[in-house]
């Protein structure tokens, strides 16, 4: 397919996708709209995590970095009285700066050691939040975090307490963030991230400073994780150190593993599928208290039967669809006149 045609094809699909995403809340119940907001925020979290994994490093501190953004944004709006959108941006920047500071000790390690080091760094940050009640609120965290409030436009009141309204805000922020992440991955920097992962010795041999690129990925990923934390803090109105513990990190890991990280959409598939199963389907089916068991079962099955993640299903499905389109059922052959 020529590139121009492929682009217009992709744009058409994107337009359809966004039309669906804009209409989606109206197809859901109120509580499902609430879950939709959290899902959108989690999509940004897991996608920022994927950027880090491009360089081959898996962190156990990503949720704590999300928490850094949440705390920074909450404090900027509550203690300093800054507008919420500006606070969110500050949340992302602070998360990125903390990641940059952490990168110096952490990127002296690689692989498994980096994993453990990131966990330790995350726990230190969580302990600081607990220890310093001023300004972090200690174990109880920060409450009454300012929200986006209401806006009056031409007689209409837009109330950001409502999940539908906040979903559109989150969708806009996440869309812009994903676009930037996508552009980064397609840029020479993104290609270098891949090289750092798969051919780090070769990359070094041609002069690539692999440590610098790992740090870049870590800082950029942390900025967007911080933005996701800020989105969460200003919606729920409260944050505490337990919200960013290793248990939450395990969820992010499972979304990434179940979805797959080879493609841009893999972690999104993983996060959306597992959140819908856990928070909507299993609850609707009345398995409220059995959800951890089913969740575990689904994880085991996905690892056993879909080792390359849910993303591996997409090419298979599209091949099937394409095959169906290209091989329509053969037309019935009309017998020629006179033929027996």
Partner 1 sequence: MISKLLSGMVSRRRLLGTAASVAGAGALGSLLPVRAFAADKVVKIGFLAPLTGEVAAWGKPGLDGCQIWAEWVNAAGGLTIGGEAHQVEFVAYDNEYDPGKARAGATKLIKEDGVKFIMMLGGDTWPGVQKVAEREGMLFSTLLPSDLSPDSSTLLAPAEVHPIYNVTGVEWLAENKPDLKTAVMCAQDDALGLPSVATYLAAFEAAGIEMLDDPLLFDPATTDFAPVVTKLLAKNPAIVSLDTCYSDYVHPICEQLFQQGYKGQIISCTADFYEKIVEKTSKEFMEGFIFQFPDFDDPALNGEQINFQRPNEFYAEYNKRHPGEWGAVSWEYASIMDLWKAGAEKAGSVEPDAVLAAMKDGGSGKHAFGDASWWGEDLFGIDNALVGDWPVVVIENGKAVIKGFKSIPAWYDKHGKLLVKHMEALDQMHYQRG
Quick one: 127 or 191, whose CB is closer to partner 1? 127
Query: How far apart are CB 286 and partner 1 at their closest, in Å?
Result: 4
How far apart, in whole angstroms, are the C-alpha atoms of residue 37 and residue 232? 9
Q: Could you give the C-alpha distances from 1 to 186, 265, 318, 326, in angstroms and in order?
A: 20, 22, 15, 14
Q: Tell me which of 208, 281, 299, 306 binds partner 1, using CB under 8 A.
A: 281
Span from 81-89, 91-99, 108-116, 285-293 in contact with partner 1 (CB under 8 A): 285-293
Helix (H, G, I), strand (E, B) or coil at 239: strand
In this structure, are strands 150-153 and 156-159 parallel, antiparallel, or unpaired? Answer: antiparallel
Element (H, E) at 201: helix 200-205
Which 15-54 residues touch partner 1, going by CB under 8 A? 26-32, 34-35, 38
Query: How far apart are CB 288 and partner 1 at their closest, in Å?
Result: 5
Quick one: 288 or 340, whose CB is closer to partner 1? 288
Quick one: 143 or 212, whose CB is closer to partner 1? 143
DSSP line for 309-326 = -GGGHHHHHHHHHHHHHH
How far apart, in whole angstroms, are the C-alpha atoms of residue 107 and residue 340? 81
Query: How far apart are CB 48 and partner 1 at their closest, in Å?
Result: 18
- Nearest-5° angle of CA 6, CA 168, CA 85? 110
Which 118-147 residues touch partner 1, going by CB under 8 A? 127, 130, 133-134, 137-144, 147
Residue 264 C-beta-side C-alpha neighbours within 13 Å: 11
Q: Is the peptide bond before 135 cis (omega within 30 degrees of 0)?
A: yes
Interaction mask 215-254, partner 1, x per CB under 8 A: -----------------x--xxxx-x-xx-xx--------
Residue ranges that bind partner 1, judged by CB under 8 A: 26-32, 34-35, 38, 127, 130, 133-134, 137-144, 147, 161, 163, 232, 235-238, 240, 242-243, 245-246, 279-281, 283-286, 288-289, 291-292
């Amino acid at each position: 397919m020529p590139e121009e045609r492929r682009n217009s094809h992709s744009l058409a699909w994107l337009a359809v996708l966004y039309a669906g995403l804009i209409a989606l809340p109206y197809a859901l119940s109120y509580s499902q709209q609430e879950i939709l907001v959290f899902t959108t925020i989690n999509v940004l979290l897991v996608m920022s995590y994927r950027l880090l994994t491009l360089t081959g490093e898996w962190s156990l501190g990503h949720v704590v970095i999300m928490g850094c953004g949440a705390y920074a944004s909450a404090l900027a709006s509550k203690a300093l009285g800054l507008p919420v959108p500006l606070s969110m941006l500050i949340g992302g920047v602070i998360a990125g700066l903390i990641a940059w500071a952490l990168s110096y000790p952490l990127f002296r390690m690689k692989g498994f050691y980096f994993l453990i080091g990131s966990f330790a760094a995350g726990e230190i940050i969580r302990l600081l939040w607990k220890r310093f009640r001023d300004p972090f609120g200690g174990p109880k965290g920060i409450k009454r975090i300012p929200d986006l409030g209401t806006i009056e436009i031409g007689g209409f009141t837009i109330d950001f307490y409502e999940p539908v309204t906040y979903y559109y805000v989150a969708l806009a922020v996440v869309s812009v963030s994903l676009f930037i992440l996508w552009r980064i991955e397609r840029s020479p920097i993104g290609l270098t991230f891949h090289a750092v992962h798969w051919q780090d010795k070769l990359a070094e041999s041609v002069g690539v400073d692999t440590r610098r690129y790992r740090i870049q990925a870590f800082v950029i990923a942390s900025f967007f994780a911080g933005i996701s934390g800020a989105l969460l803090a200003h919606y729920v109105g409260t944050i505490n150190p337990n919200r960013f513990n290793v248990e939450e990190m395990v969820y992010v890991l499972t979304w990434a593993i179940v979805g797959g990280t080879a493609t841009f959409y893999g972690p999104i598939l993983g996060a959306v599928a597992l959140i819908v199963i856990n928070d909507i389907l299993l609850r609707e089916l009345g398995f409220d208290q059995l959800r951890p068991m089913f969740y575990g079962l689904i994880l085991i099955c996905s690892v056993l039967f879909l080792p390359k993640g849910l993303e591996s299903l997409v090419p298979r499905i599209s091949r099937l669809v394409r095959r169906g389109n290209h091989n329509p059922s053969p037309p019935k052959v009309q017998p020629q006149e006179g033929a027996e």
